[in-house]
Structure 1
Amino acid sequence: MIRSRWVCRHCLSRLRTTTSYKLLPRPFAAPHIIRRQSHVAARSNESDGEIYLADSLLKRAKQLSTEHDALEQQLIENFDTKTAARAGHLRPVSEALKQYEEAVENLSQLRSMADDPTSPLSSMAADDIPPTIDSIRSTSAALTTALIPRNQFASYPCTIEIRPGTGGSEATLFTNDLYKMYSGFFSLQRYQTSIISYQTHNEIGGEGCSELIMSVSTPESYDLLRHESGVHRVQRVPATESKGRTHTSTATVMVLPKFSEDEGDFEHGTDEDPLAQIDMKEVRIDVMRASGAGGQHVNRTESAIRMTHNPTGIVVSIQDSRSQHKNRATALTILKAKVAEKRRKEKEEEALSMRRGAVKIGAGRSDKIRTYNYTQNRVTDHRSGESSHDLPRFMNGEGLGEMIEGVREWDVQRSVEVMLAMQEMEDEKKKKEK
C-alpha cells in the first residue's frame, strides 16, 4: 500500500466534507498528524526549561514540607502554641509544593500521552500541555514566594524618622522635602499619620527640618515602607548657593515597627532566633525626656529610651509609650531584631560571595539607596535600578508607590539568590564533613 503524504488538521477537517476523504487511509493519516504534534511538544519541552523551580529551592521546600508534616503530627498528639505557630508559617510552603508537584506530574503524563501515536487521547493531551506549563509557572512563583520568610514585624504599623546628613543647610531643606514627599504619598494611600516631632531649621530659600518623626498607624505599613530605610542623596543647585553650583547632600530615613500601648508580648519570637542573642553587658542604655508634643507628662518624665549595641554600633531610640518600662522592652525587641538582621546579612553575603566567586558582595548597600537629581529631572533607586524622569511628580508622592514596588520585587529576587547560596553552602559543608 502506498503511504499517504502528511495532511494538517485544518485540511483534514475540510477533506471530511468531501468524497475524496474516503480515499485517504485513516490508519496512515492519523500517525502523521500525531507525529507532527509530538514535534511541537518536543520543541515546547526544549523551550520551557526555565519554568521549573531550581533544585536548591525545591530541596529547601521539601525540607520545610517534611518539617510541617512532622509538626502537624505533633499537634495531633499534643497541642502546643509555638508548634502551632511554626506549623502555620510552614503551611503555605507545604500547600504550594503539593500544587507544584501535581502540575509537574500532570505535564509529564500529558507529554507521554502526546508522544504516544497509539493513544486515542494524544490530541487532547497536546492541547492541554500549554495551560499546564502556565500552571507550573504560577505554582513555581507561589512556592518561591512562600519560601521567602516574612518579616516578623510585617503586620505592624511604623514610625518614620528623617534627619539631615551631610550637606549642612541644604541637607535640612532636603529633609523637609522628603517629609512632604512621604506626606503626599500617605495622603494618596489614605494612611493614618500623626507627627511626633517636627523641628524646623529656617534657612535662606525655604524652611529646613532638623528632625522629623512621624507615626503611621495603618497596619502592615512597616512591611511596605521598611525598604525606605537608608541614605537618600540629592543633587541640585540649592537656594543658598550664590554661584549656581550643584551640591550633593544627604538625609537619613529610618523606619521602625510601632507597637501598641497595650502590647503584651514584647519579644515577638526574637529570643527563639539564635542570631538575636545579645549580651546585655554590651548594650548601653540612655534614659531621656521624650521630644515633641505630648503635654507635661512627656516633657517632664524621662520615658524615652535609647539603646546602643556596642559591638555592631546599632542604635534604637523609642519614645512611643509614656511608660519607660514599655519603651525599654520595645527598644530591646527592635535592637535584637536589628542585630539578628545584621548578622543574617553577613552570613548571606558570605554565602553569596562563595556562590559568585566575588570578594565583596553588596558594596554600598548600607550607603545611599536613592538619588534625587534635580538637574536631570530624575530619581533613581540604586537597588532595583529603576528611575523616574518626572521628579516634581515623584516629590509630591505620586510616583513613590511604583518605586517601592520595584524595590520589593528586587528584594524578592535577592532573597531567592540568598536561599540558593545558603543551600549550596550548607550542601558544601555536609560534603566536607563526610
Structure 2
Amino acid sequence: MRDVSDEISALRKRHAEAAQYLKIEELRARQPQLETEASRPDLWDDADLARKVTGELSSVNDDLARYDAFGERIDDVEVLAELAREEHDDSVAAEIEAALTSIAADFGALEMRSLFTGEHDDLDVICEIQSGEGGADAQDWANMLLRMYLRWAERRGLDVELDEVSAGSEAGISSATFLVKGRHSYGLLRSEHGVHRLVRMSPFNAQGKRQTAFAALKVTPFLEDVPDIVIDEKDLRIDTYRSSGAGGQHVNVTDSAVRITHLPTGTVSSCQNERSQHQNKDRAMQVLMAKLAELERQKREDELNAIRGVQHSVGFGSQIRSYVLQPYQMVKDLRTEHETGNVDGVLDGAIDEFIEAYLRWMRAQSLDA
C-alpha cells in the first residue's frame, strides 16, 4: 500500500487553516454564552431577540460540529492507514483512498466560508428580476431566470418567499421580487447581480431566427432592523392593485397587492403574496426600508462597486454572463471567464460553480488591489 502520510499532513494543514477563517476559538467561547441566553425562560418575551439568539446559536453549533467532524475523520483515516501499514494489509487501500478523496472534497466546500468577507454576506437577500431588451424573448428569459434561481435555492435547502410577479405583455414575466432566506444567502447571490444575456432560436419568431434577449437580477441584503432610516409618510406613494400573473403555484392571486414608491429616490417595492392588504403593505415597507438602507450605505461609503458591482442598462454590452443555446451550447461568465457546456443543468439551478468562481475572483481582485 502506498504511503499516504503527505496527504494526511495536507489535510491537517487545511484543518488548521479552517480554525482561522471559521474563528473556532471565538465560537467555542461564544457557544456557552448563547446557550445560557437561549435557556432563559423569558427569552421569547422579545421575539426578535429570541430569533437572533437562536439563529446565532444554530450557526455556531453548525460550524463547530463541522470543524470537529473533519478532525475526527482525519484521525480515523490516519489510524486506519497506520494499522494497514503495520499489518501489511492492502485490502483497505481502496477505503483509505476513498476517505482521503471525500475529506478533500468536503474541505473544498467548507473553504467557501473563507470567501464570505462582506459585511452582510450572512444575511437573507432580496432579489429582483427585470426583463430588458428583446421583447417577448426577454420576458420569457426573465421567467427562465426566476425558475433557475428558485431551483438553485431548492437544491441548497434555502427558503424562498415570492413577493411579487408581474406578467409580461407578450409572454413570461416583466418582473419578479423574491426573498431568499438562509445563511449566506446574500454572500452567495451577490455574484449574480447584473445583466444576463440569452442567445437562442426564438420560439416567438415565425422565421425561427436567432434572437438575443436580456434580463437583470438585482440583489439587496435584507436588513430586518434599519433604525437609522427615517421615512416621511409624505414621501411615499402607496398604490393597491389586483395581483396578476405568471408564476403559477408560486404566486397567490389576491385583490390586495401593494406597491410603495419612495418619491425622493424613485425606489419601489411591491408585495402581492401575503394574505391581506395590511400584510402586503408591511412586507413591502420592510423591503423598501432595506433598499433605502442599501442606498444610504452606498452613498456614505461608496460601496456600489465593492458590494454589488456596477448596474448597467439591461441590454447589449452590459451583461455579466451569456447563456448560448444555439448555434452551440455554452454558459460563460464574462468577469471570471468560467464556462460550461451544461446549459440545461445551469438553467435547472446548477450555478454553484459560477458562484464559487466569482467569489474566488473577487478575493483575487481584492488581494491585487
TM-score by length of 1: 0.51
The one-letter code of the counterpart of 1:212 is S
Contact 1:161 1:211 in 2 (8 A): no
Matched, 1:231 2:166: no
**Cα 1:378/1:338, change in 2 over 3 Å:** farther
Distance 1:418 1:84 in 2: 31
Aligned to 2:141: 178
Which of 140, 164, 176 matches 2:107? 140
Aligned to 2:250: none
Which of 210, 213, 216 matches 1:252? 216
Aligned to 1:411: 355
3-state SS, counterpart of residue 133 of structure 1: helix
> Highest CA radius of gyration, 1 or 2?
1
Matched, 1:279 2:279: no
Distance 1:304 1:89 in 2: 34
Which piece of structure 1 moves more, 284-293 or 372-381? Answer: 372-381
**Cα 1:142/1:349, change in 2 over 3 Å:** same
- CA-to-partner distance for each residue in 1:278-334, whole Å, 9 max, x for gaps? 33259942212325549xx94xx7x522244967x7542334447443233212322
Contact 2:140 2:172 in 1 (8 A): no
Aligned to 2:280: 327
Higher relative contact order (CA 8 A, sep 6+): 2
Contact 2:224 2:290 in 1 (8 A): yes
- CA-to-partner distance for each residue in 1:235-281, whole Å, 9 max, x for gaps? 5798999xxx9886533356899xxxxxxxxxx8721xx7x853325
**Cα 1:256/1:180, change in 2 over 3 Å:** same
3-state SS, counterpart of residue 278 of structure 1: coil
Map 1:257-272 to 2 at 5 A.
270-271=224-225
Distance 2:312 2:358 in 1: 12
Of all paired residues, the percent bearing the same amino acid is 18
Distance 1:309 1:57 in 2: 48
Contact 2:142 2:215 in 1 (8 A): no
Map 1:51-66 to 2 at 5 A.
52-53=14-15, 55=17, 58-62=20-24, 63-66=26-29
The one-letter code of the counterpart of 1:100 is F
Per the TM alignment, residue 52 of structure 1 is displaced from its structure 2 partner at its CA by: 1.5
Per the TM alignment, residue 150 of structure 1 is displaced from its structure 2 partner at its CA by: 5.8
Per the TM alignment, residue 83 of structure 1 is displaced from its structure 2 partner at its CA by: 2.1
The one-letter code of the counterpart of 1:325 is H
Per the TM alignment, residue 94 of structure 1 is displaced from its structure 2 partner at its CA by: 1.2
**Cα 1:72/1:340, change in 2 over 3 Å:** farther
Per the TM alignment, residue 92 of structure 1 is displaced from its structure 2 partner at its CA by: 0.9
Aligned to 2:167: 198
Aligned to 1:16: none
Map 1:292-303 to 2 at 5 A.
292-293=243-244, 298=255
**Cα 1:196/1:108, change in 2 over 3 Å:** closer
Distance 1:134 1:239 in 2: 45
3-state SS, counterpart of residue 270 of structure 2: strand
Per the TM alignment, residue 93 of structure 1 is displaced from its structure 2 partner at its CA by: 0.5
Distance 1:132 1:389 in 2: 29
Map 1:9-408 to 2 at 5 A.
40-44=3-7, 48=10, 52-53=14-15, 55=17, 58-62=20-24, 63-76=26-39, 80=43, 81=50, 82-105=52-75, 121=86, 123=88, 130=97, 133-134=100-101, 136-137=103-104, 140-141=107-108, 143-144=110-111, 151-152=123-124, 161-163=129-131, 165-166=132-133, 171-178=134-141, 181=144, 197-200=166-169, 208-209=170-171, 212=174, 230-234=194-198, 250-253=214-217, 270-271=224-225, 277-280=228-231, 284-290=235-241, 292-293=243-244, 298=255, 304-308=258-262, 315-321=268-274, 323-338=276-291, 367-373=318-324, 376-382=327-333, 385-388=338-341, 400-401=347-348, 404-405=349-350, 407-408=351-352
Distance 1:334 1:53 in 2: 39
Distance 2:263 2:89 in 1: 65
Aligned length: 320
Distance 1:350 1:254 in 2: 15
The one-letter code of the counterpart of 2:34 is L
Per the TM alignment, residue 162 of structure 1 is displaced from its structure 2 partner at its CA by: 4.2
Distance 1:59 1:324 in 2: 45
Distance 1:277 1:400 in 2: 39
The one-letter code of the counterpart of 2:33 is A
The one-letter code of the counterpart of 2:339 is E
**Cα 1:329/1:79, change in 2 over 3 Å:** same
Structure 2 residues not aligned, in runs of 5+: 44-49, 155-159, 246-253
**Cα 1:284/1:346, change in 2 over 3 Å:** same
Cα RMSD for the two superposed structures: 5.9
3-state SS, counterpart of residue 22 of structure 2: helix
- CA-to-partner distance for each residue in 1:160-187, whole Å, 9 max, x for gaps? 7543x24xxxx21222432674698799
The one-letter code of the counterpart of 1:252 is A
Per the TM alignment, residue 95 of structure 1 is displaced from its structure 2 partner at its CA by: 0.6
Per the TM alignment, residue 381 of structure 1 is displaced from its structure 2 partner at its CA by: 4.1
3-state SS, counterpart of residue 316 of structure 1: strand
